[in-house]
A and B are shown apart, each in its own frame.
Chain A
């Protein structure tokens, strides 16, 4: 999963660094997506013919499928495999933030058959009436998913979404500098490391940490609990190097930040450059997120999109994506095809006791305002 300012980072990295590591490559291609997005959009709008129905009433595959995904979040073989097996040409286009995706879909960019929003964004899009329900009869492989992804709070029963890849938001730390590291959010309040700690500037992520530390739900709508979290964050503020969603990766890699609240994939990217960097999911609990395939209301090829989703849920296809991008697969049946090195890495595939402590964000609708106001007070304080 990539966030808002990521393209900024990506653009810079492409400029500053030469050869890219495999994991680093994940994020770096965002810039290309940013630059080429406009051109690709035009291409995606080209395929206008609708799914057709044969005389016998059986739905038929279209010639084209327009797939709009996060940049470099796919295996090299995924699309050619589908094209070969089904004879459908996939028009592939990329974006680098949920907001970019939302803005494009809201602006009425017709033509996309599959988009891959993050959990909370699915709720938002449902609230704005932008998605259409899936016909699970066309997606029998849905049973390959882990149980928790079949009952995810943002879409129980996979009525609108099929998970693509997922990950966690925990602590990236420098194991050489932080020798007394324990997997607890208390580390982020440790005065010994004043000036070396960074927190994500995303509103819900930031408050989620304080709420976990206080033992509350990161999805609380209780104003008093949010207020307590605010006080805790104000207490933490003097210890911070800064709030960041992007630069912390470089800082971890450069021994500049020692404790960073961050996304698993980002921290693994820093680790590729600096082996002292480690990733942990704190004991109090952490946020997990999942990017899922959805079909926008305006999609011209709904049936083909569902066939594609079913293809992605095939064990070998799902495993190939994970083996390439190093994010865990939501596909349980894929496990046996995932590289053992990836499968045994607790930072990528958390053990069961950690899984139990992972929570998805819920879209809070009007109560989001409580967080927005508290966040402003932390920023201004």
Chain B
């Protein structure tokens, strides 16, 4: 579909040069009849990149996942399903469930916080729109690790929150905020906020304001307009934002490592430990593929569900 315009563009240029019989023009004429070739040339760099840095490594990991750990932590290739059988060990179920729960709560919270923000910028942003957008992205200019360490300074027992509450005599004993499920979900929500806000903004920005006015004209109040018109129309933004938040959140291991406690381990930690602590790359690979399969199924279910709701 997009193949037409580039070839036309080049053609127009060469005509303007008045060099119809020149070699460039001949190449362009030849290309014009071969739009699939143009498409392939345009796609080639990305495809090459993906093949080199995604497909080949994935292939290696896939091959590894059927191997086993050598005595010194090397990978012994072979064909055994043992790693996958171990991956379905019930001892992991609470961790998998917890990961989906934490990532799910974080996604709902980013949506609850991000939607009004994106709506505000899109509808009431006016001239300051770009500034607001930059403000959403500013935290990204600092390393995620440093921002997470800042949360530690805020949440710890002699941290900002506890010091303020104690000095105001609101509490006598420090609140236990760090190394809890609360701190992990907080960290995830904070960390993935822009992933939700930006797609929502992109969607709400394009929203046809006439449709909202039409709803008012037809007697809907602001609440029902939001519920029946704005939200359904922004569903693609909600779906995109949720996926962009949920998928990296469910596999995150940095946040639970830094902000979590002994009982907040997530799938990402479980995989990381196999690679870096146990040096069992084969088992780690099998766990990674199992997680990918689980995520693909969940995403398929989610997109299907959201898709049908959009129709209704």
Contact = CB atoms under 8 A, between A and B. Distances in A.
Interface in A180-227: 195, 201-203
A107 interface: no
16 contacts: A8-B254, A12-B145, A12-B146, A12-B149, A16-B149, A99-B276, A128-B72, A128-B74, A202-B277, A241-B261, A243-B262, A254-B159, A363-B72, A368-B71, A369-B280, A376-B91
Given A11-B143, A128-B72, A254-B156, A240 B261 contact: yes
Nearest to A99: B276
Contacts of B159: 254, 256
A39 to B, nearest CB: 20
A365 interface: yes
Contacts of A237: 262-263
B36 to A, nearest CB: 39
A128 B76 CA distance: 12
A379 B72 contact: no
Contacts of B143: 11-12, 15
Interface in B139-191: 142-143, 145-146, 149-150, 152, 156-159, 176, 178-179
A341 B208 CA distance: 75
A203 B278 contact: yes
B260 interface: yes
Contact of B176 (A11, A128, A195, A366): A195
A251 B262 contact: no
B257 interface: yes
Contacts of A381: 91
A170 B273 CA distance: 23
Interface string A343-381: 000000000000000000001011011001001110111
A8 B277 contact: no
Interface of B: 69, 71-74, 91-92, 94-95, 142-143, 145-146, 149-150, 152, 156-159, 176, 178-179, 254, 257-258, 260-263, 265, 269-270, 273, 276-280
Given A15-B146, A16-B149, A377-B91, A4 B262 contact: no
B149 A365 contact: no
A380 B91 contact: yes
A79 B254 CA distance: 37
B182 to A, nearest CB: 14
A379 B273 contact: yes
B277 to A, nearest CB: 5
A250 interface: yes
A127 interface: yes
A247 interface: yes
Contacts of B94: 380
Given A8-B145, A16-B149, A372-B278, A242 B156 contact: no
B73 A242 contact: no
A380 B280 contact: no
A132 B53 CA distance: 34
Interface in A224-241: 237-238, 240-241
**Contact-residue bracket for chain A:** 35 or more
Contacts of A89: none
Given A256-B156, A363-B72, 17 more contacts: A11-B143, A16-B150, A127-B72, A203-B277, A237-B262, A238-B262, A240-B261, A242-B262, A247-B258, A250-B152, A256-B157, A256-B178, A368-B73, A369-B69, A372-B278, A376-B273, A380-B270
A5 interface: yes
Nearest to B278: A372
B145 to A, nearest CB: 5
A99 to B, nearest CB: 6
A255 interface: yes
Nearest to A206: B277
A78 interface: no
A15 B152 CA distance: 15
A380 B276 contact: no
Contact of A255 (B152, B158, B261): B158
Contacts of B157: 255-256
Given A11-B145, A16-B149, A242-B262, A251 B72 contact: no
B197 to A, nearest CB: 25
A124 interface: yes
A15 B144 CA distance: 11
Given A256-B178, A372-B280, A124 B258 contact: no
A-B pairs, top 10 by smallest CB distance, nearest first, are A127-B72, A365-B71, A372-B278, A380-B91, A240-B262, A15-B146, A256-B156, A12-B149, A242-B261, A124-B72
A115 B257 CA distance: 30
B73 to A, nearest CB: 6
A46 B120 CA distance: 57
A195 B179 CA distance: 9
Looking at A238, A240, A379, the one whose CB has the most chain B CB atoms below 10 A away is A379
Contacts of B145: 8, 11-12
A262 B258 CA distance: 16
A375 B277 contact: yes
B149 A380 contact: no
Given A380-B91, A380-B265, A251 B156 contact: yes
B71 A366 contact: yes
A369 B72 CA distance: 11
B276 A242 contact: no
Contacts of B146: 11-12, 15-16
Contact of B270 (A8, A11, A99, A379): A379
B71 A127 contact: yes
Interface string A29-63: 00000000000000000000000000000000000
Contacts of B95: 380
A367 to B, nearest CB: 9
B31 to A, nearest CB: 40
Contacts of A195: 176
A242 B179 contact: yes
Contacts of A242: 179, 260-262
Contacts of A123: 72
